[in-house]
Amino acid sequence: MPVERCDALPNDRPATSRTGHGPRLEVDLAALAANWRTLASEAAQAVCSAVVKADAYGLGLEPCARALLKAGCRTFFVAHLDEGLALRRIAGPVPEIFVLNGFLGERREDYCAGALVPVLNTAGEARAWAEAPPLAAALQVETGMNRLGLARDEARAFLAALPAEAAMRVTLLMSHLACADEPAHPQNAAQRARLAGLGDVLPHARRSLANSGGIVLGPAFHFDLVRPGIALYGGAAGARGALRTVARLHARVLQVKEVPPGEGVGYGATSRADGPRRIATVSAGYADGILRSLSGCGVAHVGGILAPYAGRVSMDSLALDISSAEPDAVREGDEAELFGDAVSVDALAARAGTISYELLARLGGRLLKVYK
């Protein structure tokens, strides 16, 4: 019998055709584009940008950025300078790219070479920018979140001291809502009023306040530019219209076994039951971004049921209690959906005591990402 040659290793095959034991993240780029269009329609009087920091919230900067560009997005936000440079190589010369975490004076030439727009957050950054070669900038002002940004009086003083030509290069005045996910919170209106009250400082500049949740608060919060992030990727915060699921995480069933009454499952034997159980062990763990805090409280969809996590999440695997499934509904080699349509990323994150932002951002680098 001929022996199959092993010269071609798995990495020689296209990424979308590789198979293996590890988890698979399916990213629906058409849904991502549709979500951007929905959000742009919700804030129709403003420019709709896209926040693609942290590798597009863990889903892959290059494919996500290309899909958003194709959908019509021409304004992007990243967190760091190097993210901005990477995005410029992908997006070409036309899109506007803002760098949220400020201006590094020692790398001023990189901002110029990448035509990147730093968001000035401190007086020191603002002074360093003013001394740099001509470069557009945004100015973040503090309206109540107390994270980043110049105090209003500080911003006024800085702008008043700028030469007129330099002031014209500040093209965006922005702030960030602290409580946008709580529509009735009084701080939302207070922050909106504070930003609106600064409009006379830079009358030529656009203004921006609304993140994903801020878009839902209505036109008064949209100003000239909105900055959706998590809503693009299918998170709950976003437009009143339906947003589509973008990310689905699947893991292979490695083994199905019967566990006798009283026997524990996983490290610490923390999961025990009085009666017999069927357990499916699947190939995803905290090294893949499945938070250990989901131990004993997470659920996954497999065999037509929502199967609860049994015991602790391990580095490379987790156990699902499939006792309520039909006897042959789950077999070795099947796939469980850890989040997606049956269990939303928001719902799973809530079970972990966190938010979908963190769950997506922590997805491990060894995931096989499949784009459609």
Tell me whether residue 267 is one of the annotated catalytic residues. Answer: yes
Tell me whether residue 371 is one of the annotated catalytic residues. Answer: no
Do 211 and 228 meet the contact criterion of CB atoms below 8 Å apart?
Answer: yes
53, 111, 286, 357: which is the annotated catalytic residue? 53
CB-neighbour burial class of residue 7 (10 A; exposed 0-12, middle 13-18, buried 19+)? exposed
Do 58 and 363 meet the contact criterion of CB atoms below 8 Å apart?
Answer: yes
Please give the distance of CA 327 from its chain centroid, rounded to a whole number: 38
CA dist 40 → 149, 214, 336 (Å): 26, 13, 34
- Cβ atoms within 10 Å, residue 367: 20
Tell which residue, 48, 112, 109, 118, has the closest CA to residue 78.
118
For every residue of 24-80, which 3-state class applies, written as one string?
A: EEEECHHHHHHHHHHHHHHCCCCEECEECHHHHHCCCHHHHHHHHHHHCCCEEEECC
Structural tokens at position 176: 């960030």
Amino acid at 7: D
57, 70, 267, 286: which is the annotated catalytic residue? 267
Catalytic residue numbers read 53, 267
